[in-house]
Amino acid sequence: MKVAFTIISRGPFEAKVRDLKKFAQKGLAKVGETWVKKFQRRHFETGAATKYGYARRSAKWMRRKREAVERGWAWDSKTRQRVAVTSSARLPLVWTGRMKEMALAAQRIEAFTTNVRVKMKAPYYVTMRGKHQAGPDKAAEMTAVARNEADLLANQFADALADDIRQPTPVTTRRT
């Protein structure tokens, strides 16, 4: 998600570029926190595939998943054991629920002056895409942002930036 902004100053403005960068970093940290608290969980709910534009799953994959849900277990190729399949496995990003649990359990928000990064743990198969990158990009699906969410996050960033700019900055003088 890209956010652009223009600052129009009406009156004396004492802040330096360094201060503006700090304000932007604080605003983007708030954006990251809001995404984690409000929107991340929505990627694992009914209707997420339509809302976030997930790639269409193949008929073979859908059949295997349906059979696993009916059976109540699936074969984990990494551990070579049976794993329980959750009832919410009908959702595109959920099979055993491991990815959902890991992604929602712990996130680290890193805010910079130009972007914010939310780091989260995920199973090994999130980055696997199959032959010729044919499978769905689960990492991109887990972090997709819907248009209305992007607008809300952009407004929150703009408000946080404006609040910080409105705060009077102490004028420092140097002795020479």
Are residues 144 and 52 in contact, defined by beta-carbon separation less than 8 angstroms? yes
Which residue has tokens 């049976």?
A: 82
Annotate 51-101 with DSSP letters as a single string: HHTPPPPPHHHHHHHHHHHHHTEEEETTTTEEEEPPGGGGSTT-SSSHHHH
What's CA 90's distance to the chain center, in Å?
22
Task: Say if residue 96's pLDDT is above 70.
Answer: yes
Residue 109's pLDDT band (boundaries 50, 70, 90)? very high
Q: What is the pLDDT of residue 174?
A: 60
Over the stretch 37-77, which tens digit does the pLDDT of each residue have?
Answer: 999 999 988 889 899 999 888 888 888 888 888 888 887 77
- Whether 116 shows a pLDDT value over 70: the answer reads yes
The pLDDT score that the predictor gives to residue 41 is 93
Per-residue pLDDT band at 6 (split at 50, 70, 90): low
Q: pTM surpassing 0.85?
A: no
